[in-house]
Amino acid sequence: MGGGGRGSLPHFKEPLMATRFIDKEFGADSSTAIANDATGTAKVRNLPGAAGLVYDQVDNQMKFNRNGTIVKVTNSANAETLSGAGSQFSLDMSTALAATVGGSGVTWLGAHRAIITGAALTQTGNATNAIHGVYWITGTNAGAFPKAAVLGEFHAGTTTADGAFVAMAGGGATARSMYGVASLDPDVNTTQYGLDLSNNSWTGGRAGAKVGYTTADILMSLDVALIVGGSSAPTNGVTGAGAAGPGSLFFMTGGTIKLYMNTGTKASPTWTAQT
């Protein structure tokens, strides 16, 4: 264990979860990992009642006390098995923001932040990322709700979110794309769609629950929008006004199927049928 120094680590007030580096004590052998037994629970000062994490240098695991049981912050080589009813997570954190938190300048606030840094890496076999989500459920999965490696959600009552996921480029940064795809197998592609905006991938939840797009299904650069409509033709000066720039497309999917293009302006679109 470290000697309790915080160094450059951020300080949190109780009862928020804090990262603690606490000395082993009670004459414990420093080569013995913290375990869930009478000796183990006494190896670290205040661990049984601590609202925080302890890094065990013996087995390189982050550990915490959960209702008197020492639990590891698990990884793929030391997986925790979840069982029983109800929602469960191996690691669950929640952060509440006070109305006056932050500042008038750029201030980052969040429940979790992962940063990966380096320079001039030389190994060609590296797959490098700050967060790696893996969905590894084999066989069938009877769950009727979304199944994903990473799930982003904006909750009921939220009206200010820019998206469930947002890609942001820092000043001076360059990248091949804001969103990309990759495959470890060069020959097999079993993904049905590159992008699914239909909300048809799951059938559970509330009856009739659907995702709706009030302005356009997709908004591209230069304000070019793709709008999927129903059986009614778009209305000039109304449909897509203020959002769908010149060149935007409207797909009429009911009645007489037609494709329309905005040949007017973004402020007042003119929808011209394409033949």
Residue 272 has pLDDT above 60, yes or no: yes
Give this prediction's pTM: 0.70
pLDDT in tens, 125-139: 999 999 999 999 999
Spatial separation of the C-alpha atoms in residues 258 and 229, rounded to whole Å:
10
What would the mean pLDDT of 227-242 be, rounded to a whole number? Answer: 95
Q: Is 42 left (phi over 0), alpha (psi -120 to 50) or beta?
A: alpha
Q: Is 38 left (phi over 0), alpha (psi -120 to 50) or beta?
A: alpha
Rounded CA-CA distance 197/250 in Å is 16
In the chain, where are the structural domains located?
Answer: 1-76, 215-275
Please report the pLDDT score of residue 186 as a whole number.
74
What are the DSSP E strand ranges found in 27-129? 52-56, 61-66, 69-72
Mean pLDDT of all residues in 206-216: 76
pLDDT at 168: 93
- How high is the pLDDT of residue 126? 93
- Over residues 234-255, the mean pLDDT reads 96
How far is it, in rounded angstroms, from Cα 137 to Cα 62?
25
- Token output for 217: 């299904």
Q: Is the pLDDT of residue 38 over 50?
A: no
Please state, in angstroms and rounded to a whole number, the distance separating the CA atoms of residues 140 and 137: 8
Highest mean pLDDT among 8-17, 35-44, 211-220: 211-220
Separation CA 141–CA 78 (nearest Å) = 23
The per-residue pLDDT for range 92-120, each reduced to its tens digit, is 778 899 999 999 999 999 988 899 999 99
The 10s digit of each residue's pLDDT in 137-152 is 999 998 878 889 999 9
Instruction: Compare 134 and 90 and report the one with higher pLDDT.
Output: 134
